[in-house]
Amino acid sequence: MSFRTPLSTARGLGSAKHGVGHWISERVAAVALVPLVLWAVYSCILLAGVDYDGAVEWIGSPVNATLIILTIAISFFHMQGGVRVIIEDYIYGHLTKAAALMLNVFVCGLAGALAIFSILKVALGGA
């Protein structure tokens, strides 16, 4: 039998056990972004050389549309996580910090959603 109190047992369990999952998800996103960003740089050069019709045609390719949506979604996830750490490091006030963290999530969420919806609209022939 155990002589430990329930509180002692609870304390002994350590962290909330979400830290590692969060850490790993940040690394998975970073690894995914390595090839995606190199492809995106190549695509930027390609898109700089074409007009509106060329860009619409480019997005119309399922491979391009999928890769750009993945790049945008994973980038905004990565951006949100990175700026979150900057806010946590430099903003000390409780309310200011909470507001900045929320603003960061909202900006990344809104910009990411707008970008992905726009890509889908053009890719699916709505342009």
Binding site for other proteins (CB under 8 A): 27, 30-31, 33-34, 37-38, 41, 45, 48-49, 51-53, 55-56, 59, 72, 75-76, 79, 82-83, 86, 107-108, 111-112, 114-119, 121-122, 126-127
The DSSP result for 35-92, as a single string, is HHHHHHHHHHHHHHTS-HHHHHHHHHSHHHHHHHHHHHHHHHHHHHHHHHHHHHHH--
Nearer to other proteins, 6 or 121 (CB): 121
Beta carbon of residue 104, minimum distance to other proteins (angstroms, whole number)? 9
Pick the closest to residue 43 from 71, 76, 3 (CA basis): 71
* Rounded distance between C-alpha atoms, residue 115 and residue 72, angstroms: 7
Nearer to other proteins, 82 or 91 (CB): 82
Beta carbon of residue 83, minimum distance to other proteins (angstroms, whole number)? 6
Read off the tokens for 90: 């430099």
Nearer to other proteins, 11 or 42 (CB): 42
